[in-house]
A = this chain, B = another copy of it.
Amino acid sequence: MSYLPEVQTTSIATETSSDVFVRGKSLCQDLIGKLSFTEMLFFQILGRSATAAEIAMVDACLVTLVEHGLTPSAVATRLIYSSSPDAMQGAVAAGLNGVGSLFAGTTEGCASVLADLLDAEDGLEPAAERIVAEYRAALRPIPGFGHPTHEPDVPRSIRLFEIAHEQGVAGRHVEAVHVLSAAIDRGSGKHITINATGAIAATLGDCGVPAEIMRSFALISRCAGLVGHVHEEQQKPALRAIWEAADRAVPYDGESG
């Protein structure tokens, strides 16, 4: 632990006997009733006020990620909620543990590639060619690209880029993802769509969200999505249906130890 400082401060908040101060602002005077939740979470995470255009973009990205049906995270949350109904926080926590490398990780991965592109000294296009060649040589897919069913382009990505342009948010990251996309198409000889995780990485990047905290927007959004599943599990419990279905889908094969 010797590389970590022994003394540290926080810039986030302090509680006084009459108020809470968040990054220098009074919760009661400056924030409650003044900021939307999206404005507040942007301020909390990034430490600055967002523009109206940035908020429109962040809202669009958060709305995109809320819900995809009975995903692994949603199933886990519903099973854990019905097992421990006194502690819905544990059910939501269980589902959020699934917002990892397979799903949210591609957003973060794409954001890292875009950051590399934008840092490259040889310019966007040569850097894009180089990166595409490296991934092809390693037989690795570039995060943020490709979708099994949406042809030719993912509708969610189209909408997110439309909003980025309407709001005037589209900047270097959106440009970079399209330069990269063109290089990918040339490299593979066919069109490979920018998927929703790629569009989110680019549009949130142009709102100033760095790659290392990109995954957190999926966490906040899915938290709300998972709560919806908890509430439906309260009203229409699916525990037994899912449990029995899982049991039938993965039968015991009797291989002895």
Contact = CB atoms under 8 A, between A and B. Distances in A.
Interface stretch (A115-123, A130-138, A153-161, A172-180): A153-161
Contacts of A240: 1, 4-6, 8
A256 to B, nearest CB: 3
A196 to B, nearest CB: 10
A257 B220 contact: no
Given A33-B60, A64-B27, A234-B213, A98 B80 contact: yes
Give the number of times this chain occurs in the complex, counting copies: 4
Chain A contact residues: over half helix, strand or loop, or mixed? helix
Interface string A92-114: 11111111111111000000000
A11 B84 contact: no
Given A28-B155, A101-B85, A213 B238 contact: no
Q: Which of A24, A32, A89, A90 has the most CB of B within 10 A?
A: A89
Interface of A: 1-2, 4-15, 17-25, 27-28, 31-33, 35-38, 40-41, 43-49, 56, 58-60, 62-64, 66-73, 75-76, 79-80, 82-105, 148-150, 155-156, 158-160, 162-163, 212-213, 215-216, 219-221, 223-225, 227-232, 234, 236-257
